[in-house]
Amino acid sequence: MDKFQQLREKHKEFVYEGYEVNKDSFVFHFKIDEYSFNPKWSFSPDLIENAPDKELLDYAVFSLGLSELVSYWKCACPPMVKINCGALNSEQTEWWKKLYFNGLGEFFYRNGIETDIENFMTIIPCCDNIPKFENDNNIGEGFLIPVGGGKDSVVTLELLNKYRDKNACYILNPRGATLNCAHIAEYQDNRIVGVKRTIDKRLLELNSAGYLNGHTPISSVIAFSSWIFAYCGGKKYIALSNESSANESNISGTSINHQYSKSTEFEADFRYYTRTFFSPFPEYFSMLRPWSEWQITKRFVNYPKYFPVFQSCNIGSKTDTWCANCAKCLYVYIMLAAFLPDEELVKIFGKNMLEKAEYKDLFNGLVYQDFNKPFECVGTKKEINLALHKAAEKRENQDLPLLLREYKNSEEWKNAPKELDGFFDDNNFVPKELLPLLK
């Protein structure tokens, strides 16, 4: 019997026991047998005090807890999930099962777990008498812009610059890169919604003791939490920075996607959920969905003021540095290499990453069709091949770095696209008045 089945035999129930809505925090209470988890969200009291409807706020926080619980459920994967503190109807329980199952695709794959959407979990709510809310008149104004510190959210900040006076930035667990990007975009601290999310240490202890661990759909947590603070802050829109490229799977021939909760499918599902069970506003959408990562990078390089501060490496996030040793760093390096000279890239990353033979395996996963794409937030192989072509063209009168030199002898080099500037994904939810900013 594998570890997944052993843990499910040992721990048969996960319980969402309750949640607290305090003036400066949300606290959630989960339990697996003798193990209790109490993750906490902390923030300034003024961020929720103006909620138009306190009952709607309460239900939205309950729902934030539903997005949180999967991070704790996954350590033992109990077959039954009891919701003892809020109502869900049958449509909602199916909605949550879809999010959990698809959002855990990478987790299942990397842990060798074979299951299906029908059998991996049964959700049992305490009742199905869900609340109804009348908030059609609470339209609000301006945008709440989640800022992650990378190039994508920088581009959104700049695209929506003319609306800045009515906007605010949303930063989960603020750090140097995220705050610096917001400040450079001219958002002062009084228009930065900074929220601290604390993981219960008991989960980390269980992981160390051999319980299961892995990726969860964190962007769904950002979705529900940003909706709460946009609603309480009177914003009309939540403008994400997820691009069309986020829809590509990591494992060829499957739907396993590290970025599932950044995908168009999740965006559509989330918009439906909030409109149906919360309120029509604020409206959640991704500003960059019509674009590819190629187009985003091409726009980003026009903003050199961000070069010293932007950062999206997960490994280096705690120190606001690029580790320059992972697939995410190599990916960003490649995309920028199409536009920036080596000297500028070395300033950002500390080294010429395309000159290092030790990154061959990372390079292969990013570039070649015969290798699985790394489990990182990276663009499509088509975009990366285009970027490598452009990087080689940019350096045609100089010696090419090792990995780029070797790449020129590959089939991918011969078959790489020559341009993606005309790409536009019509499957998007960008408000009509904003589309001219993207075309």
DSSP assignment of 145-199 equals: EE--SSHHHHHHHHHTGGGGGG-EEEEES--HHHHHHHHHTT--GGGEEEEEEE-
pLDDT tens string 374-390: 999 899 999 999 999 99
The token duo for 321 is 């540095």
Instruction: Tell whether 63 is covered by a domain.
Output: yes
271, 286, 301: which is the final residue of a domain?
Answer: 286
Say if residue 266's pLDDT is above 90.
Answer: yes
Please give the mean pLDDT across all residues of the chain: 95
| H-only helix segments in 278-323 | 293-300
Please indicate, yes or no, whether residues 223 and 124 belong to a single structural domain of this protein.
yes
> Percent of the chain scored above 90 by pLDDT?
88
**Number of structural domains in the chain:** 2
Please indicate, yes or no, whether residues 269 and 342 belong to a single structural domain of this protein.
no
Say if residue 93's pLDDT is above 80.
Answer: yes
Say if residue 203's pLDDT is above 70.
Answer: yes
Instruction: Tell whether 114 is covered by a domain.
Output: yes
- CA torsion through residues 356, 359, 360, 365, sign: negative
Please indicate, yes or no, whether residues 202 and 117 belong to a single structural domain of this protein.
yes
Query: CA geometry: angle at 224 spanning 236 and 34, to 5°?
Result: 160
The pTM of this model reads 0.96
Instruction: Tell whether 146 is covered by a domain.
Output: no
CA 27 to chain CA centroid, Å, is 22
Strands 25-32 and 143-146: unpaired
Please indicate, yes or no, whether residues 58 and 125 belong to a single structural domain of this protein.
yes
242, 266, 286: which is the final residue of a domain?
Answer: 286
Averaged pLDDT, 107-133? 96
Averaged pLDDT, 359-388? 92
pLDDT in the model for residue 233: 97
Averaged pLDDT, 134-157? 90
User: 311: Cβ–Cβ under 8 A, 6 or more apart, which residues?
Assistant: 149, 150, 176, 177, 317, 320, 321, 322
Judge whether 378 and 331 are in contact, CB under 8 Å: yes
- CA torsion through residues 296, 297, 298, 302, sign: positive
pLDDT tens string 337-347: 999 999 999 99
Instruction: Tell whether 294 is covered by a domain.
Output: no
Judge whether 168 and 155 are in contact, CB under 8 Å: no
Say if residue 135's pLDDT is above 70.
Answer: no
Helices (H) and strands (E) in the chain, counts: 16, 11
286, 304, 327: which is the final residue of a domain?
Answer: 286
Strands 168-172 and 192-198: parallel
Please indicate, yes or no, whether residues 212 and 110 belong to a single structural domain of this protein.
yes
Say if residue 1's pLDDT is above 70.
Answer: no
Please indicate, yes or no, whether residues 128 and 54 belong to a single structural domain of this protein.
yes
Distance CA 410, CA 342 (A): 23
Instruction: Tell whether 101 is covered by a domain.
Output: yes
pLDDT in the model for residue 136: 61
pLDDT in the model for residue 415: 83
Say if residue 398's pLDDT is above 90.
Answer: no
Strands 35-37 and 25-32: antiparallel
Instruction: Tell whether 344 is covered by a domain.
Output: yes
Please indicate, yes or no, whether residues 323 and 383 belong to a single structural domain of this protein.
yes
Judge whether 338 and 297 are in contact, CB under 8 Å: yes
Please indicate, yes or no, whether residues 129 and 49 belong to a single structural domain of this protein.
yes
Judge whether 151 and 310 are in contact, CB under 8 Å: yes
Please indicate, yes or no, whether residues 209 and 338 belong to a single structural domain of this protein.
no
The token duo for 142 is 């301006």
Please indicate, yes or no, whether residues 254 and 395 belong to a single structural domain of this protein.
no
User: 290: Cβ–Cβ under 8 A, 6 or more apart, which residues?
Assistant: 244, 424, 425, 426, 428, 430, 435, 438
Instruction: Tell whether 184 is covered by a domain.
Output: no
Three-state secondary structure of 235-247 = CCEEEECCCHHHH
pLDDT tens string 211-240: 999 999 999 999 999 999 999 999 999 999
Tell me which amino acid residue 405 is. Answer: R
Where residue 176 falls (left for φ over 0; alpha for ψ -120 to 50; beta otherwise) is alpha
Please indicate, yes or no, whether residues 321 and 221 belong to a single structural domain of this protein.
no
pLDDT tens string 59-82: 999 999 999 999 999 999 999 999
Please indicate, yes or no, whether residues 322 and 276 belong to a single structural domain of this protein.
no
Q: Which domain holds residue 266?
A: 3-136+193-286
pLDDT tens string 13-64: 999 999 999 999 999 999 999 999 999 999 999 999 999 999 999 999 999 9
pLDDT in the model for residue 411: 86
Instruction: Tell whether 74 is covered by a domain.
Output: yes
Distance CA 317, CA 319 (A): 5
Distance CA 216, CA 132 (A): 30
Q: What is the largest CA-CA distance in the chain?
A: 70
